[in-house]
Structure 1
Amino acid sequence: MSENSIEAYVRDVEKLSQFAEIAKHQPKPETITERDIMDFLEYLNDFGLSATSQARILSGVKSFYKYMAIENLIQTDPTHLIESPKVGRKLPDTLSFPEIEQMLEMVDVSTPEGTRNRAILEVLYSCGMRVSELIDLKLTNCYFDIGFVRVFGKGRKVRLIPIGRDAIKYTKIYLETIRNHQEVKEEAEDIVFLNRRGKPLSRVMIFLIIKDLAERAGIQKNISPHTFRHSFATHLIEGGADLRAVQEMLGHESITTTEIYTHLDRVFLEETMRSFHPRENRLSSVSKYQSAGSK
């Protein structure tokens, strides 16, 4: 097989290993059951991965267990009776990286609302946060100097999320050129994103902004703020990111224990986002190219 194919198969098995570690803490290939494989596929589906992506990962896992059986390392193949996900089943829509960039290009940054909206989209895609977390984002919880924001998720659970360079750049532009010159209402003094009356934005307003940009970009998909969250997770996972790190950044609840996630430190989460997020990868490639050119 080609080097790329081998790397892809290894990544597929690593994803199963990471999931087993999350669920069982002491994973062993020979102790994985058919139920575990089904739970693994459901886990991938919850991240918004397409049926095609799930089927490709399952193919890699099946090949691994076929090898285990040939080598007499297992008695029963847990993947034997599991069928690939049906391509036609209903899954959350995700945007491709080019579609994300198309929508960003539709924003008119020459207007105050456009400057704000560009920052909003950058933050949604960079952080994978829920729309409720975005509209509640506070100035005092933005640590741009270290590249993190603090958000309050479901049940008011607090988590730190890495924020990308573009998101920081456009949010700072919005804060310095637009928000700093607004008359801000008392209840919104610490809120990052405001409407033209100096009040916090509503969930509906974020939805309408994104719907409008998707239509103008000619994207024929059911797009909502949550689509950016699914796209964030999908692009990181398909790029090879560690499942535990992505789950930590998303703030996902799980029926399995989540104790393991508390041991993931800030540096690990930041490195995951920088290494596997498409926009961060693009910036790194440009940076390396420019460095090489200067030499």
Structure 2
Amino acid sequence: MARKLRRNGTTKQSERRVAVTSAVGRMTLKEMHLQFMRFKRVEGLAPRTLDDYENHFGYLCDYIGGDLNKSEMTAEVFLDYKDYMLNERGFSPHTVNVRVRTLHSFLKYCYEEGFIVDQLHKKIKTVKAPIDNVESLTPMELKQIFSVIDEDWYTGFRDKVLLLVMLDSMARIGELVKATRNNVDLKHGAIYLGADTVKTRQGRTVPLSYKTTKMLSEYIDETAEYNTTTLFVTYDGSPISDNTVRKRFKDYAHKAGITKQVSPHVFRHTGALLYLMNGGDPFSLQKILGHKDMTMTRRYVQMSNSDVKSQHEAFSPINSIFNK
């Protein structure tokens, strides 16, 4: 007679979780995070995203003052950390939410892997925050910035082309400084942003206007002598860094007498806003920006509505009935 090794019924999820958890009961918070980071690296996340996970966990460890064993990992500890960031350090809701999201992802992983029994991630929620308008520049301010760039020098010409490409494509600076000459399609007026360079790890092709394509073509001819695959390079043919670009943005803003913050990200915001105000639709904008959903794109739509009076004046239904 055959021996019965397993019962007919299935083990409850809670029983399996306790069994697994008891086998790793001595793991500490930091040891769990090491496993979490190993898992995230295998997922193929961008280096910047992996750095954020590490940095945010470091901030948590600084608050805790060391490590925690499994029994010390309670919802109260993490809720107190959130309260500390908000009310003692005075961090903005945006900053707090960025750190809370990475913490939420880590705690969810710990629960699903059986490192902890409680679903702590469900208790750690983001902070409700007001939706503020993102910083942007006006067309006049953009003209002022371009007017102070000296195109007689190579670096000035390169910067003008880079600014035009950034404004037109609405690409992130990290995506553009890693672009290659082969990424550019001058015939169709487009530039491809590779999956290994973009934040979402999903490559995309973004269109360029005729004016930008023409300037970019001149720049590519100008830099052919460097014999490099990198698109945007320094005066000696080395790849330009995003920090160098940020510094030059600030220098041009200062020369133009603009007191607003001027950065690559502000150019991206400005391009997105002007795209909508010039008649572009939110869905094509989402694709150009590389957003996974419409959350951020909706903020641009909200901002573009600030110009609703002038838009209404131009497109009022009354205009189709009575002559202006």
TM-score by length of 2: 0.48
Q: Tell me the CA shift for residue 254 of structure 1.
A: 2.3
Aligned to 1:212: 251
Shift of 1:166: 2.0
> Which residue of the partner structure matches residue 135 of structure 2?
93
Tell me, what secondary structure is at the counterpart of 1:154? Answer: coil
2:270 is the counterpart of 1:226: no
1:253 to 260, 267, 292: 292
- Equivalent of 1:201 in 215, 218, 240: 240
Structure 1 unaligned spans of 5+: 1-84, 257-295
| 1:67-86 matches, cutoff 5 A | none
Equivalent in the alignment of 1:181: 225
Native 8 Å contact 2:286 2:294 kept in 1: no
1:117 equivalent in structure 2 = 159
* Partner deviation per Cα, 1:47-91 (whole Å, 9 max, x = no partner): xxxxxxxxxxxxxxxxxxxxxxxxxxxxxxxxxxxxxx98xx753
Distance 2:171 2:218 in 1: 20
127-136 or 247-256: bigger deviation? 247-256
* TM superposition shift of 1:237: 1.3
Structure number with greater Rg is 2
Q: 2:176 aligns with which of 100, 115, 134?
A: 134
Match of 1:108 in 2: 150
For structure 2, the 5+ residue unaligned runs are: 1-128, 296-324
* Structure 2 partner of 1:167: 212
Is 1:150–1:159's contact at 8 Å kept on the other side of the alignment? yes
Superposition RMSD in Å: 2.2
Give 1:239 shift: 2.4
In the aligned structure 1, how far is the partner of 2:203 from the partner of 2:154? 31
In the TM superposition, what is the alpha-carbon distance from 1:255 to its structure 2 partner? Answer: 7.7
Deviations 1:33-52 (A, max 9, x none): xxxxxxxxxxxxxxxxxxxx
Q: Secondary structure at the match of 2:158?
A: helix
**TM-score computed with the length of structure 1 as normaliser:** 0.52
1:115, 1:170 within 8 Å by CA — same for their partners in 2? no
Q: Percent identity?
A: 27
- Cα deviation for residue 113 of structure 1 reads 0.7
Letter in 1 for 2:180: K
Q: Is the 8 A contact 1:193 1:201 kept in 2?
A: yes
